[in-house]
A and B are shown apart, each in its own frame.
Chain A
Amino acid sequence: MNPGPNIIETRGLEKRFGGVRAVAAVDFALAPGELRCLIGPNGAGKSTFFKLLTGQLRPTAGQIFLDGQDIVGAEPHVVGRKGVGIKNQVPVVMNGLTVRENLWLAARSRLRGRALEDAVDAIAARLGLEAILPRLVGELAHGQRQWVEIAMVVVCRPRIVLLDEPAAGMSDEETDRTAELIRELNRDATIVVVEHDMQFIRQIARTVTVFHQGRILIEDTYRNVVDNPVVRDVYLGRGVAA
């Protein structure tokens, strides 16, 4: 049992797929109320790391502490119940149902009755989804489906929000809206964002964690990370040992 103050902590976390170590020996700590950014080239293990945190994948080795409790092996719905919400890289939503029904189901995980209906209306208004409420999610454009998933994650005010590429495919105006939303959410929740868009990260980042080949390369403030030549090499693909 970890007596520390961190809301999420991993020790020696590892995930192998066959011979590939997608995540290797990751020691990660997240304080309550933090807004952390994860960056790194494609295939660095960021999305896999997220899936380990939500219980979608089971680690090959290591521990994951949520509020000091080891959650390795816990069923995904148990982790969800503990207040972890995730917006995936590729939206995982109910494609055959309407936007309204998706939001209703998301809110239903915590709320009932009048509060439930109000929360659905509120989140739809807040994120500008009112017009598409009666549409089938599967028929929406990718960007809209992303927003639906974000709305579903956010409607219940989870304590921990994991966002995997929230700004992908968005216009500048939408990106600003997303950054503002994230800052707003951060008032009540701990947030981890995986992103590639450095402009976007600049708008929201305090601490940035850089992943490379499944490991954490560097963890520092935005400025230091961006100025770091090793990080630049990693992104430009100049072979760097992790």
Chain B
Amino acid sequence: MSHQEFASDAAVPPSRWWWLFVAILAAGIALTPSYTDAALQLDVSVIFVFALLALSMGFLWGYAGILSFGQTIFFGLGGYGYAVLAMNAGTTLWPLVAAVVLPMLFSAVLGYFIIYGRISDIYLSVITLVVTLIFEKSIRSTSGPDYVIGSVRLNGQNGIPGIPALQLPWDAAAPLSFDGVFYLAGAAALLAYVGLRLLLLTPFGRILVGIRESEKRMELLGFDARAYKLGAFVLAAGIAALSGALYAIWGNFVSPEMFGLNQAAQVVIWVIVGGRSTLIGPIVATGLVQYLSGWLGTVGVGQVTLVLGAVLLVFVLVFPKGLLPTLGGLRWPRRRSRERRRG
């Protein structure tokens, strides 16, 4: 009867082992650039960026219970937002902030109509997919000199190249280096992970999980479920937008693929493989999936879509709870009973 795929002990403060784990990760991020080559750093940096995106989805779906196919909308808006603003303004710091805030505003409007419109869960998912398709189509069709924002051409299919690197606020002449991008992405991902984990301890987080479990009961108790869900939707959009902006900073390039179905599928796959019951699961899955797809080598776009679809199908049919929770299934009951005694 209970929802085994979600964590039931999220409201329990994390153990000291978890804090140790976080400290080790932080140390790892700080020390890695000194010991690895640029190529590996570049690969890991983008994994951090994608981990951020995966976290946004893992949070929204796993903890708020909202299945949105539209996280890539905000990912794309974050990337394009940074590109357009930074290239127009000549500076990069406030464009980075705006690239996060503006998509959040849009998500608030979109979320308001969907969530306060009391649109059912399935319809919500389908509508977010429709909005994704509309965005992808729109951006792809912006070729030609008419589609300009300020002095920046949107370029349709080709995307926007030559995006400036982030300038350090204390040394405007020095753009962020490879190492810098690595630190930034790593720090962002780690902070988001810790932040979201701790958010679940706050009343907002606990109420959100309560709504996921039984929206009706929470409403009968007097909580306006719509407000909390909208809050989660906007927060997730902000994290996705940050991921998009960091992606633009990482690659100095944005393209309509950021809005595309393949990207949307990847996000869903990261969370399905990693499992919705933890926040760390999707992060690990992101690393795994990215590593494996790098291993597959450069293949045509068609093959990528094919593999993504196959993976999705297989996982839904065979590992609906996610790969990691299924594999860790032997350990979970023991851990939970320990926490039960404590809780």
Binding site for B on A (CB under 8 A): 54, 56, 75-77, 80-81, 85-86, 92-98, 100-102, 104-106, 108-110, 133-139, 152, 156
User: Smallest Cβ distance from A192 to chain B, in angstroms?
Assistant: 15
Task: Give Cα A54 to B216, complex, Å.
Answer: 11
A81 CA to B219 CA in the complex, in Å? 9
Complex Cα distance, B157 from A204, in Å, reads 74
Chain B residues with CB under 8 Å of A135's CB are 340
Report B-chain residues with C-beta under 8 Å of the C-beta of A97: 8, 11, 209-210, 213
**Residue of A with least CB distance to B342:** A134
Q: Which of A54, A77, A94, A136 makes the CB contact (< 8 A) with B210?
A: A94
Contact at A136–B222, with CB atoms within 8 Å?
A: no
Let me know if B1 is at the binding interface, CB within 8 A: yes
Q: How far is the CA of A77 from the CA of B116 in the complex (A)?
A: 13
Interface size on B, as a range, is: 20 to 34
Inside 8 A of B11's CB, which chain A residues have their CB? 97, 101, 104
Q: Does B88 contact A (CB under 8 A)?
A: no
| Complex interface: chain A residues within 8 A of B217 (CB) | 92-94, 152
Instruction: Please state if A95 and B219 are interface contacts (CB–CB under 8 Å).
Output: no
The 0/1 profile, CB within 8 Å of A marked 1, for residues 174-214 of chain B is 00000000000000000000000000000100110110011
CB within 8 Å for A105 and B210 given contacts A96-B3, A135-B340: yes
Q: How far is the CB of B321 from chain A (nearest CB, A)?
A: 13
Q: CA separation between A108 and B203, bound complex, in Å?
A: 8
Option from B2, B6, B218, B343 in Cβ contact (under 8 Å) with A105: B218
With A75-B224, A85-B220, A105-B210 already in contact, the answer to whether A95 and B3 are too (CB < 8 A) is yes
Given contacts A97-B209, A134-B343, A136-B8, contact A86 B2 (CB under 8 A): no
* Cα separation A73 to B224 with both chains bound (whole Å): 15
Contact between B213 and A100 (Cβ–Cβ < 8 Å)?
no
A-contacting residues of B (Cβ < 8 Å)? Answer: 1-4, 6, 8-9, 11, 203, 206-207, 209-210, 213-214, 216-225, 340-343
A76 touching B1 in the complex, CB below 8 Å, given contacts A96-B6, A96-B213: no
The distance in angstroms between the C-alpha atoms of A81 and B341, with both chains bound, is 34
Also in contact, A81 and B220, with CB within 8 A (given A95-B213, A98-B8, A138-B2): no
With A105-B206, A138-B3 known as contacts, the answer to whether A96 contacts B221 (CB < 8 A) is no
**Chain A nearest CB, measured from B118 CB (Å):** 9
In the docked arrangement, what's the CA distance between A76 and B219, Å? 6
In the complex, A54 Cα to B3 Cα: how many Å? 27
Closest to A85 in B: B220
Taken together as a complex, chains A and B put the C-alpha atoms of A98 and B342 apart, in Å, by 12
Kindly provide the distance from the CB of A86 to the nearest chain B CB, expressed in whole angstroms: 6
Closest B residue to A84 by beta carbon equals B220
CB distance B221 to A80 under 8 Å? yes
B300 to chain A, nearest CB (A): 43
Q: Which residues of A contact B203 (CB under 8 A)?
A: 108
CA distance A161 to B47 in the complex (A): 53
Min CB distance A170 to B, Å, is 20
Q: Judging by beta carbons under 8 Å apart, are B2 and A76 in contact? A: no
4 pairs of A and B residues whose beta carbons are closest in the complex: A138-B2, A94-B213, A80-B222, A96-B3
Known contacts A81-B222, A94-B214; A136/B206 CB under 8 A: no
B216 to A, closest residue via Cβ: A92
Q: Determine the chain A residues whose CB is within 8 A of the CB of B340 once the complex forms.
A: 98, 134-135
Report the minimal beta-carbon distance from A78 to chain B, rounded to whole angstroms: 8
7 contacts between A and B (CB under 8 A): A75-B219, A75-B224, A94-B217, A95-B2, A101-B11, A108-B203, A136-B8
Cβ–Cβ < 8 Å partners of A136 in chain B: 2, 8
Among B6, B213, B223, the residue within 8 A (CB) of A77 is B223
- Chain B neighbourhood of A139, CB < 8 A: 1-2
When chains A and B are docked, how far (Å) is the Cα of A104 from the Cα of B11? Answer: 11
Extra inter-chain contacts (4) besides given A76-B219, A95-B214, A108-B203, CB under 8 Å: A80-B221, A92-B214, A95-B3, A96-B6
